[in-house]
Amino acid sequence: MIGMRDRIVTKLAERNTVLTPDALEYLNDLNSKDRVSVIIDKLEENNIQLPFPVCRETISCLEEDLSDGEKKKEIEENSWEQDPMSRCMVLKDVSGESTCTGDVDEFAKYFRDRYERIRSIVDKRREGKKARPINRIASRSGEATIIGMVRDIYTSSNGNKMLTIEDTTGEIRGFISSESEAFEKNLLEDEVVLAKGEVWDDNGDYERTFAIEKITRPGIPKLKNKSKPNFPGKIAFIGDIHVGSDTFLKDEWDEFTSWINSDDEEARSIKYLIVPGDLIDGIGIFPGQEKELDIIDVYEQYKKLADMIKDLPKDITVITIPGNHDMVRNAEPQPCIPEEVQELFPNNVLFFGNPALLDLEGLKILLYHGSSINELSDMLPQVSNENPVSAMKEMLKRRHLVPVYGKKTPIAPEEEDYLVIDEVPDIFVTGHIHRTEVDNYHGISMLNASTWQAQTEYQKTRDIQPDPAKVIVLDPNSNKVSIHDFC
Ligand SMILES: [Fe+2]
């Protein structure tokens, strides 16, 4: 692995210059590729070469000589390193805001908030059709349009769909013919949609049926003018590092570390590194996990990760959220990892909850670990674990990260539903599936980040093939993406 120290020595050797040990230590501690490059250029400009080794004092003199522009750049870099949060605004994150106490009444409040939030998005898409309260349409026959939440839905023996749909005023039995346009929508439980159809009298049956012909989802408007960030650099995405696992890919990680510290043009352009969860493998996540661990203490796992991140360039800001293997509650939304763990890391690492919506210098980024991808692949024919972006697209269409309550992904009933996608992001990133995939949906860059864990015993028994050790690099100014493979 080539770290900062080796790079400095190699670069200076090319220029016929050597450093005293304290000068080398000083440059290494700067841990900033740009600052070191400026100083090395100054050494060349001043023709400082062998046979005289360059001492720490000479470097100080050169730093004092830096032009105003160079000094300004340094000041900017220094302030950035001291407070990387200054350029990152949190738009939505449960960390420090949780209202959940476990009271049973919280579920009713949670569902009401979920309904109201998505209803207000759907309401903007009603295309002139006035949506009516369900208690009004349930009392008379004829055409009707409502905005409701699907409480239950099943397929009848003759292939039609039967459902119950409700709003805050009441509920009605629904029917979707297998011949209708609405049938193609693959409606799921808990979805909030605009439904247009006809209320049937059912020949004296006191309970009317709403025959739904057309369904409109909240959906995502096509972005006409995509936001441009207020910075020229690129964003790299890595995921599911799983430090502590005996299948952690150390050699591949070292290759990545060498690359990101190298003079490679793309590596040097990276300003942010985003990690959407499963920073560590954790302990007690599944029965018998201890047999698959190299590090059996979670603090030691985080400590190891902190050391690994210290080997990355300090001028890259690392943005993290937890996943289902991290040391926070399993129910979503998950808060950021605890402060005593955060203290192990250098100050260029930022910690948020799962999910988190951030404004990163003018760019809206939605980070979600991705636990619901598995269940969406079980429920929807168009979704598969091999293509996680197919699940991400369905989340965006439904404006919810866990569209169905009560499946594999546990949800904590917060007063505010942090899993609703209220705001349309510029970038949507997930992990969890240990695959690498990139796509674009209505102008949103969708990325599923790779992993640094080889195939586990669990994955072997289910023939799940991970796609590890890849780094996605996005240029948010051009939307161009490249994928670097370290396998
Ligand atoms: Fe994972």
pLDDT single digits (tens) 204-239: 656 789 999 999 999 999 877 778 898 899 999 999
pLDDT score of 75: 42
pLDDT score of 223: 76
State the distance from the centre of ligand 1 to the C-alpha of 281, rounded, in angstroms: 8
CA 70 to chain centre: 35
Q: What is the 3-state secondary structure (H, E, C) of the chain?
A: CCCHHHHHHHHHHHCCCCECHHHHHHHHHHCCHHHHHHHHHHHHHCCCCCCCCECHHHHHHHHHCCCHHHHHHHHHHHHHHHCHHHHEEEEEECCCCCCCCCCCHHHHHHHHHHHHHHHHHHHCCCCCCCCCCHHHHCCCCEEEEEEEEEEEEEECCCCCEEEEEECCCCEEEEEECCCCHHHHHCCCCCCEEEEEEEEECCCCCCCCEEEEEEEECCCCCCCCCCCCCCCCCEEEECCCCCECECCECHHHHHHHHHHHCCCCHHHHCEEEEEEECCCECCCCCCCCHHHHECCCCHHHHHHHHHHHHHCCCCCCEEEEECCCCCCCCCCECECCCCHHHHCCCCCCEEECCECEEEEECCEEEEECCCCHHHHHHHHCCCCECCEHHHHHHHHHHHCECCCCCCCCCCECCCCCCCCECCCCCCEEEECCCCCCEEEEECCEEEEECCCCECCCHHHHHCCCCCCCCEEEEEECCCCEEEEEECC
State the distance from the centre of ligand 1 to the C-alpha of 370, rounded, in angstroms: 9
| Residue with the two structure tokens 């002139």 | 128
State the distance from the centre of ligand 1 to the C-alpha of 243, rounded, in angstroms: 10
State the distance from the centre of ligand 1 to the C-alpha of 187, rounded, in angstroms: 28
| Residue with the two structure tokens 């759907």 | 122
Taking 70 as the pLDDT cut, the residues of the chain under it are 1-4, 31-34, 47-52, 65-82, 126-128, 202-206
Smallest CA-to-CA distance from 446 within 486, 387, 392 is with 392
Tokens of 423: 């705001």
Q: Are 404 and 152 in contact (CB under 8 A)?
A: no
Q: Could you tell me the residue ranges of all domains in the chain? A: 4-82, 85-97+223-485, 126-216
CATH class held by domain 4-82: mainly alpha
pLDDT score of 184: 92
pLDDT score of 40: 77
State the distance from the centre of ligand 1 to the C-alpha of 332, rounded, in angstroms: 15
State the distance from the centre of ligand 1 to the C-alpha of 363, rounded, in angstroms: 26
State the distance from the centre of ligand 1 to the C-alpha of 244, rounded, in angstroms: 12
State the distance from the centre of ligand 1 to the C-alpha of 174, rounded, in angstroms: 39
State the distance from the centre of ligand 1 to the C-alpha of 31, rounded, in angstroms: 30
State the distance from the centre of ligand 1 to the C-alpha of 276, rounded, in angstroms: 10
Distance (Å, whole) CA 272 – CA 395:
25
Q: Which CATH architecture has domain 85-97+223-485?
A: 4-Layer Sandwich (3.60)
CA distances from 407 to 374, 376, 377, 397, 431 (A): 10, 10, 12, 19, 19
State the distance from the centre of ligand 1 to the C-alpha of 278, rounded, in angstroms: 5
CATH class held by domain 126-216: mainly beta
State the distance from the centre of ligand 1 to the C-alpha of 434, rounded, in angstroms: 6
State the distance from the centre of ligand 1 to the C-alpha of 219, rounded, in angstroms: 28
373: how many CB neighbours lie within 10 A of its CB?
28
State the distance from the centre of ligand 1 to the C-alpha of 264, rounded, in angstroms: 29
CA distances from 420 to 293, 368, 395, 487 (A): 35, 12, 9, 36
- C-alpha neighbours within 13 Å on the C-beta side of residue 342: 18
State the distance from the centre of ligand 1 to the C-alpha of 242, rounded, in angstroms: 7
pLDDT score of 33: 67
57: how many CB neighbours lie within 10 A of its CB?
11
pLDDT score of 78: 47
State the distance from the centre of ligand 1 to the C-alpha of 369, rounded, in angstroms: 9
